[in-house]
Amino acid sequence: MLAALGMLCSTTPATFGKVDVLKYLLDTYKCDIDRGSTLRHDSPLVCAVRSAQYDCAMFCSLEELSLVGFSIGEEGPLHWLCGFESEQEEEMSTLAKRLIDAGADIEELSSITGSRALLPTGTVC
């Protein structure tokens, strides 16, 4: 049962930088953490990058977890490198290179409509 909930159980440790917990979940319960959760569709890798959790992001990328967004247009990990602080520039650069080398695409769309626009056409603010 927990293996089926692997994504939901693994996004929290990724967000808070708990590599040991991620490893435990993956090794013990054979969780499928290479897909989006049913609530937000964010993978542990995206959660780790968005939270600037370098060690978790590297662990997820080395485990060959999903490096791109999902088919319905969620953000990929490269979209969230902005989560890193200026003091973390070296880690951010290392992670960005790792993600790109593994196939992440900065040009990947991040909207459900496939548009690069921030708001749908005709939206009035």
DSSP string, the chain: -TTTTHHHHHHHHHHTT-HHHHHHHHHHH----SS--TTT---HHHHHHHTT-HHHHHHHHHTT---S--TT----GGGGGGGS-GGGHHHHHHHHHHHHHTT--TT---STTS---SS-TT---
Q: Quote the CA–CA distance of 30 and 38 in Å, as a whole number.
A: 18
Question: What is the pTM for the complete model shown?
Answer: 0.73
Q: What is the pLDDT of residue 11?
A: 84
Per-residue confidence (pLDDT) for residue 117, from 0 to 100: 43
Q: What is the CATH number of domain 6-101?
A: 1.25.40.20
Q: Where are the domains of the chain?
A: 6-101
Length of the chain: 125
Interval 3-28 mean pLDDT: 81
Q: What is the pLDDT of residues 23-68, one digit of tens each?
A: 888 888 776 665 554 555 677 888 899 999 999 999 988 875 555 4
pLDDT tens per residue, range 65-122: 555 444 445 677 888 898 899 999 999 999 999 988 887 777 766 555 444 444 444 4
Instruction: Give residue 33's pLDDT.
Output: 60
Per-residue pLDDT band at 18 (split at 50, 70, 90): very high
From 72, 62, 73, 1, select the one nearest 34 (Cα to Cα): 62
